[in-house]
Every structure is written in structure tokens, then in C-alpha cells.
A and B are shown apart, each in its own frame.
Chain A
Amino acid sequence: MSAKPTVVVTGIGMVTSIGAGRHAFWNALLAGTCGFAPVKSFDTSAYSVHLGAEIQNFKAEDYVRTLDVNSIGRSSQLAIAAARLALADASLDLTEVDLEHAGVCGGTTSGEPQFIERFDDHYVHDELRKVGQEFITGYPCHVVPCHVAMELGFSGETMMIPTACAAGNYAIAHASDLLRAKKASVMLAGGADSFSRITYTGFARLGAIAPEVCQPFDRNRKGMVPGEGAAMLLLELKDHAIARGARIYCEVAGYGLSCDAHHMTAAHPQGEGAARAIRMALDQSGIAPEEVDYISAHGTGTPTNDRLETIAVKNTFKKQAYKIPISSIKSMLGHTMGAASAIEAAVCALAITEGHIPPTVNWKEQDPECDLDYVPNVARKHNVRIAMNNAYAFGGNNSSLIFRARAV
């Protein structure tokens, strides 16, 4: 394979509707815990659906120590929490970090939507004079990774890649490229999204939200469930990790990105772009399709996504597709938007290390068009050396990320 330096994952942190931090989250995931409940953060009585996957009882003060917690939006708070958890998990001593080469690469769908929602509330009540300076300092989506960097004192490259529901994969891919190019020595990469009225309204209007349960790949699946969350992975070059005695979860073997150039909200009918992203990831990683042991699916639970995703996997893996377990944790977390593929990337790292894969829960009846092994309902012990993380976004943005067990 190529002589490119190896990027490894040495820390993971997440805040989700079923638990915060690696241990609580992983245990809840393997137990099939779901985070669905009636939406609380705004009034859904005028909507035809009411289900969401909000994070209950999140205390930002537990994590935000440098910045004034009231001066930053919820997505920034979640991102900081995930970052702090990842650093602790990595046992990274900040006093030993070259801060000028420590950066943050984030992903998101909405950024800090509460700020524009508040702006609009003022607007409809003819009170624009009440818009304060916090709109410009708190709203634009790039402030989320900036706040993480400010909180930690990181002053390397800090960037937001708002490629919506595939953003986490894009962020991890870019952070890996920066590390390999020696432009950074450590990178925090991941994604964050807080619960958004705008997002909920849009998906409800598209008829895409499930009324009672999220059941990806099930014959009677009715849609997705919007949620919120954040995850950050600490990435560094393998030599750097070994030198500081870090625990290594796995390697970031490679990535693939493509664009359908077909439709803004519906995937390509033959899954053509998704298949190209998978193939690019396999090529970049130097991995053959039959070596993949587990796929973390995009699996939103909408009739269309799950069918087209299945087609894309079959197009790429052919008969081998039937031998690869593929599960969707959105069955438990709902769709955490820009955080989704970051949380799912963390799950890949854990699957490799723990030899255990999470289930697709709420699965009752097979859909003849979705006939792969979706690890229905029960977590499974499984030796995972190669894990693939797929994520697809509005605008036809397709992404595949491959993780590989550390070479001894």
C-alpha cells in the first residue's frame, strides 16, 4: 500500500440522548436503549408528528470551563462537552500539546439554529431592535468549532464543514488529511447539532418523520426521528500516539466522497453516487470489499433512504453484501444530523476494539427490498477488523469512511 503516514483514533467523546461519554453510551447502545420522547423544546401541537430524540438534562456547566456557558449556543456546548470527553478518554495532557498545531474540524447541519429562530421570533413580533450583538457572534455555524478551540486553547486550523447529515465523515476525512500533511499534530474532528425547530418543521412538512418509532430497514418503516447530539474523535499520527503512550482504538484507513448531482433531497435511484464513495474509500484504504467486517449504515428509517442505501451496498459488494452485518444506530438515537456520522464513526472505533456490534432495533418484519443482515434487535459479538461508516446528505453529498484495526 502507500507510504502515507497512518492516522489513528486515540480518544472518543459523545453526548447523546442515551448517554454521554464512551462507557455510558456504549452500554446503552448495546442494550438497545432508545432516546425517543415527545418533543419538549418547542410546541408541536400544530404539527402532525411529535416525536423527537432530544438530550434530556444536559448540563453544559459540567463541561464548559473556560468560556461563559451563557454566551454560546447549545451546539457549541454539546461540541465542547464531546471534545472534553474525547480528551479525557485519550488521556491527552494539554500542557504537552503543541497548541499551534492542534486544530478542530467540525460538522453540522444547522449550526446554532436557536439564534436565527430567536431573530425570527423578534421579527414576527416587530421587535427587531431586540436583536443583540450575540446574533452575529453566536449564530454563524463556524463558531461551533471556534468555541471548542477557544475553550481548549487550540490555535491550529479550525474549520466547519457543514455538509449536513454527512458532515462528521467529511470532518474526520479532512482532519486526517491535515495530519498526514503534517499541518497538525492533533486534531479534534466530529460533529454537533442541537434540536432545531426549523429542521423539525422541514422534515415534518416532507412527511419524513415517523409518528411512533424509528425502524430502519423494517418493512413498515415510516420515517426518521430528528434528534440532537455531538461526538468528537481525537486523531493523531500513529508515531505521535505511540510516543506519548496513547491507547489506540484503530486507524483511519481512508475515505471516499462523491456527489449524486441528481436531486437535493432524494438520493440517486440506483445509489450510483453512494457506490462511488464506497469504492473510492476502499481504493484509498487499499482494502478489498470482502475484507469489510461491519458497516455502520446511514439508515435513517425513511422508506426511500433505506431502500436506496441497500441498493448501493449491493452494487458495490455484490454477493458479499449478504455476509456483512450492517446496522443503523439511528434506530436508537434518531437522526442527530451533523453529529450522526461522527457518533457512528465512534461506534466503528468501539466495534473494532470491543469486538461487538450494535443492533438495528425496532426491527420486526423484513422488507423484501431490504434483505441484508441488519443485526436485528440484539447486539452481537463479532470480530471487526475493518469497519465502514456511510453517511448521505441533502445536496447529494455522499461519504464513506473506513476504519481498520491497528496493525500490530
Chain B
Amino acid sequence: MQKRVAITGMGVISSLGDSPATLHSSLCNGKTSIYQFDESHLNGSGGKGSGRIAAFRAESYLKGKNLRPLDRTGQLVVAGAGLALEDSGWTPEHLTEYPVGLVLGTMFGSLHTIAKFDRHALEQGPGCASPMDFANTVINAAAGQTAIWHNLRGINSTISSGSASGLAALGYATDLIRFAGQTAVLAGGADEFCFESFCGFEHAGMLHSSGSLELPVPFHASRTGFALGEAVGLLMLEEWETAMARGAHILAEIRGHGSAYDSSRQDRGMAVRSIVRAMADALDDAGMSPREVTCISASANGSIREDQDEAVAIQSLFNGSSQSIPITAIKSMIGETLGASGSLQAIDLVETMRSGLLPGIPGLGQKDPLLPELNFCCEQQEINQCHGLVNSIGLDGNVYSLVISRGPEKT
């Protein structure tokens, strides 16, 4: 009998709130964070459409210990982990008794720290390089810092699958519970907004440019690209029986996950097929048929190609029922948070199933006529909240899908 995977707590720090409930209600109200940014950090390279969490103050989450070893990415992850641990009822005392694991998805790690370390050595000489910064230049630094801060001594892993990293991490952690005997693993993703990655995406022409659309609207006929954001999203995953035995509140269940890779990178048919395969494999893994899915959290972020591929894939797999399954795309409001994106979608999906309300896609008055007829939600709506599907379609051909089912009623 395969072990079941329960979600027993969640922590999020995003530009739309630092609790799952606040994030969800902001999204349902169509609130967008995309233009709230602090230009002084952007080194004059623009900053249009960026979703930096301007108000993030590490001290308000992390008390009692020295913050100096942490860079900003480390601060975000340590803080987000603290919120998730608190939400799931894992106290510091419990953590000394039991080795909880951590699996963090991230596209860049601390790119700003890597670059800062390198530039400082270039400008001042290698003898002036910062040893403290060096510790944070490895991509698994934030996961290591978080383990130290919260005493997480279980399996500690970092996963990079581009912008699909967060969902990949959730799948990896699910498998640790199912196959490697782990009973509690904190999993999700994080990526920091920095001008290095912003500059890179801008020079690659991937970012939204204001034309007829003020904001990047997924699936819109006039979409031109995405808005870069930042966040951390972490979920406490536990083996079901163990969670029940400790009296945990089970919020939802991860039923299955699937992934595929589009190795052609040019063949649109293959791109669509890889998304279909990831979703189909996730449902297969969940022992469910497409008919049973009651809502979809799309990966769509305003990218011209990827949004279309995802829509075509959804129609293809859900052939017959696709016209009725409501679809949301929260990146319309939170921007593209890279490694955090899949975990934010998962967190919001859990809140959706608890509240019965699915966020809409603000500004999607005019769906792209090239896209199939799907039930894109333009504003929040009530849904039958049983089984949701989350997609993460990376910018480099990685595709991940996750199936989440509503948790048991709290008695």
C-alpha cells in the first residue's frame, strides 16, 4: 500500500502577503503586486513590472539569533520555513527529537550574492573576498542556513528545474515520503528578485513590455511576456499515518505528481505533448482520471509561447471536460516568482479548496483567439473544491504537474 502524503502546514512570504490566507484573499480580490517595487536596488536598469517584496524585514520574522550570516535569499527562506513550521505545529522541542527534512526548489540560489562576491574580488582583489558571502554562493546555501536556524537534521536537498523548481521539489519530497521512509519533510521553493536576473531576462526579451497591456495578463491576445517577482513558499509534508498519530491538522493531500522534458525546444507539438504527459502522469500517479479534476492552477505568466502550449495541452488531455474545468493563473497578480512559483500555486490551491473560492485572472477580457475555448476564470468564482491540478512549465522545457486533493473535514 503506497504511503499517503499529507500537507499539515504552509508558510509564504510574497508581495501579496505573508500568510496563505492573506495571499489567497488578495488573489481573490484581484489585487496585483506587480508594480510595487523599489527602484534603488535595480542599478538603473529599469524595473518595469517587477514584483519585489519591498516591505520585507527579516527582523520581524527572525528573532533571537544573529542575522549576519544570512543573505536576503537566506532570510526569506529561513523566515518562510519558520512560518510553515509554526503553522504545522512543529515546535523547536519536537525538532530536537526528530530530524525533519527540507527540500528547496530554486532557479538561481543567491545569484546576487554570487555576483557580489565575484565583483568585490575583481575590484578589491581576491584577498578582500568575503568568506561569509562565499558560504552563500553555493546554490544549496539557503537550504543549509534554514536547517541550521531551525534545526532541520533530516534529508536536506536543493532542486533546480528552472521556474518549475518549486513543484519539482514538492514531487521529490513526496517521493522521499513514499519510497525512502521519511515522515516529515518541509518542501517548496524560493527565488529572490535581483537586478542580475532581471537584467538577464530583460536582455533575453522575455519580460512583459507595456504596449496595449499595462500588466502581463496570461492567455491574453496582447500578452508579451512575464513580470519578474520573488517569494518563498514552503509546505510541511508528512506521512499520513504519522501526521494523524501526532494530531496534526491535515489541510490537504498530495495525490500524485508527474514530469516531462521537451528535449526538442523547437517542436511546438513536442512542447505540448510534454505538458500533456506531465499532467497525465500526475493523474495516473494519483490514480485519478482527468474527469475528476475540479480546478486547474495554470503556470501561464504572460509568455507568448508557453501560455499557448499549456492551453492546447489542457484541451488535449481534458478533451470533453476541458470546457468546464475552471482555470486560474495567479502569476497574473503575483508575477513570475521562479523557484517559488509552483509552491505558491500549491499553497493557493489548498486555500482555494478550503474556501471554495478560485481567484480569477484580472484583465483577461479578451482571451487570445488562437487559444482553445477553455474555462478561463476572469474573476473569482465558487468552485467544487475536491481535486486540483497545479502546473509548472519551465522556460527551458521542464514541465511538472501536481495533483492535490482537499483534506478531511476538521472534526
Contact = CB atoms under 8 A, between A and B. Distances in A.
A23 interface: no
Interface residues of B, number: 82
Contacts of A205: 121, 126-127, 129-131, 134
B265 A258 contact: no
A146 B261 contact: yes
B299 interface: no
A164 B157 contact: no
Interface stretch (B136-144, B361-369, B381-389): B136-144
B45 A128 contact: yes
Given A46-B127, A124-B122, A259 B261 contact: no
Interface stretch (A9-17, A374-382, A393-401): A393-401
Interface string A309-344: 000000000000000000000000000000000000
A303 interface: no
A197 B281 CA distance: 42
Given A155-B263, A156-B261, A163 B115 contact: no
B180 A393 contact: no
Interface residues of A, number: 77
Nearest to A49: B126
A394 B131 contact: no
Interface string B159-180: 1111001001000100100111
A161 B158 contact: yes
A408 interface: no
Contact of A164 (B129, B138, B160): B138
Interface in B194-245: 196-197, 199-201, 203-206
Most chain B C-beta atoms within 10 Å of own C-beta, residue among A150, A159, A170, A284: A159
B175 A181 contact: yes
A379 B370 CA distance: 66
Contact of A160 (B150, B161, B180, B260): B161
A203 B262 CA distance: 37
Contacts of A178: 175
Given A103-B261, A177-B175, A257-B155, A397 B140 contact: yes
Nearest to B103: A161
Contacts of B158: 161-163
Contact of B141 (A120, A141, A170, A264): A264
- B interface, by DSSP: helix, strand, loop or mixed? mixed
Contact of B205 (A133, A153, A157, A198): A133
Nearest to B101: A259
B204 A137 contact: yes
B371 interface: no
Interface in B247-301: 259-265, 270, 274, 277, 281
Contact of A100 (B127, B168, B277): B277
A67 to B, nearest CB: 10
With most chain B CB atoms within 10 A of its CB, the pick from A137, A156, A259 is A259
Interface in B115-136: 115, 117-119, 121-123, 125-127, 129-131, 134-136
B111 interface: yes
Interface string A39-59: 000000011100000000000
Contacts of B153: 258-261, 273, 276
Contacts of B172: 159, 174
A259 B153 CA distance: 5
B156 A257 contact: yes
A149 B161 CA distance: 13
B121 to A, nearest CB: 5
Contacts of B138: 109-110, 162, 164, 393-395
A142 B152 contact: no
Contact of A157 (B154, B162, B260, B264): B260
A387 to B, nearest CB: 21
B58 interface: no
Nearest to B257: A183
Given A47-B126, A136-B395, A159-B259, 16 more contacts: A46-B126, A116-B196, A133-B204, A139-B200, A140-B162, A140-B396, A142-B165, A146-B397, A153-B263, A159-B161, A163-B156, A177-B179, A181-B179, A205-B129, A205-B134, A264-B136
11 contacts: A46-B125, A108-B139, A109-B139, A159-B168, A159-B172, A177-B175, A198-B117, A205-B130, A261-B151, A276-B153, A395-B143
Interface of B: 45, 69, 99, 101-102, 107-109, 111, 114-115, 117-119, 121-123, 125-127, 129-131, 134-141, 143-145, 147-148, 150-162, 165, 168, 172, 175, 178-181, 196-197, 199-201, 203-206, 259-265, 270, 274, 277, 281, 394-398
Interface of A: 46-48, 99-100, 103-104, 108-111, 116-117, 119-121, 123-124, 128, 131-133, 135-137, 139-143, 146, 149-150, 152-164, 170, 174, 177-178, 180-181, 183, 197-198, 201-202, 204-206, 257-265, 273, 276, 284, 393-397
